[in-house]
Structure 1
């Protein structure tokens, strides 16, 4: 039986829990792509308390957490990109909760936020090597192409996904 998932806006006191989920999810997802030290560095940079505090305070950015029995087990970050009408939605779930509906609950809340800020399309890119992320996006989005991106001085391929936002 799937756990009962609650999704709510992130609060400043969620920062440590979001970092914990990011650390576990990034290591499980990218361990065959980046070395452990680089993953730790990326999580430390991208999920520093001041970065998360700033995101939480921005109305145009939705930062949401998914909880099971009051424990943060996933998060989503979403907002408008530079292209008017196009939004971005990043979802990470603790590996212990993969396949339990947590990502789908976060996706639904992200869709709602993006509709509220008048986006019409979600466009996301997922490293081809991210099997879990691609499996999730394949269920909920249309893959519209691939492109090469440079990451850490190495050219890597990403799948590009899109979905319509309905208000």
Structure 2
């Protein structure tokens, strides 16, 4: 088996592995899974991932057959975020997920990532355990829409320390900017902001370019700063993480 970057010819196999993985890992109905695959892994979407400088799509190739997929993004300064790690259910238990993760981690770090984040749906027990067994710490949650339902998504990081600084919003409420959790912006990163210092509830985002909390997000997860025009494109074609 070898881990390699995905090629255009892999698109049908990537969709098939992702579909089978979602079906085995989550209590999702057929319509929800079909909707997710159409949104995240259609022809244009995969082409965008393959061509994007800030995206990484690796596949686990066994004798010419794709049996695993990882999708990652550079989501901030020196931060690589693993969005999905799929392994075909027929090949689980053979170390493919670990090998795929290790190579993803290596490539992200070779490209400049100093911190690795991981996102996994909260009801995926195996997925959450996977990150915890590797020493990752759960530092927050978000939401993702699949079909017509909204699911909780856990955010993990391998950062040794989580730095959160208090700031005051326009109403005078104190919220906390997490300097170790951020998303890539067109000018400077957007840092995640939490309602409390322990990071249980997400408040929104902080634009590090103009140091403003006044940011808007549309239904596709696009963040735009109201003050300076700093923009974050969607990490996925789905709902916002607020």
**TM bucket normalised to smaller:** 0.7 to 0.9
Q: Which of 153, 159, 163 is the matching residue for 1:158?
A: 153
Contact 1:80–1:86 (8 Å) recurs in 2: yes
Paired residue for 1:84? Answer: 77
Q: CA deviation at 1:155?
A: 5.7
CA distance in 2, matches of 1:119, 1:75: 20
Q: 1:148: Cα distance to partner? A: 4.6
Aligned to 1:66, the other structure's residue is in SS state strand
C-alpha separation in 2, matches of 1:69 and 1:154: 38
User: Residue deviations 1:80-137, cap 9 Å, x none?
Assistant: 10x3222111311111111211111111111122112211111122222012211222
Conserved 8 A contact 1:76-1:92: yes
Match of 2:64 in 1: 70
Deviations 1:29-66 (A, max 9, x none): 12x2x322011111111100111122112233221110
Q: CA RMSD in A?
A: 1.9
Q: Distance in 2 between matches of 1:159 and 1:106?
A: 20
Does the 8 Å CA contact 2:78/2:112 hold for their aligned counterparts?
A: yes
> Which protein is richer in helix relative to its size?
1
Counterpart of 1:104 in structure 2 is: 98
Q: Residue in 1 aligned with 2:5?
A: 9
Q: Which residue of 2 aligns with 1:117?
A: 111
Hey, what's the Cα distance between the residues in 1 that align with 2:13 and 2:144? Answer: 30
Distance 1:69 1:155 in 2: 38
What TM-score do you get using the length of structure 2 for normalisation?
Answer: 0.60
CA distance in 2, matches of 1:98, 1:56: 26
Q: Matched residues in 2 for 1:79 and 1:146: separation?
A: 18
Q: How many residues align?
A: 157
In structure 2, how many angstroms separate the alpha carbons of the residues matched to 1:155 and 1:18?
24
Q: For residues 11 and 156 of structure 1, do their structure 2 counterparts lie closer, same or farther at Cα, with a shift above 3 Å needed?
A: closer
CA distance in 1, matches of 2:61, 2:130: 19
State the structure with bigger RCO (CA 8 A, min sep 6), 1 or 2: 1
C-alpha displacement of 1:159 = 2.8
C-alpha distance after superposition, 1:1-21 (max 9, x if no partner): xxxx21111100000000010
Q: Is 2:18 the counterpart of 1:25?
A: no
Task: Return the index of the structure with the highest Cα Rg.
Answer: 2
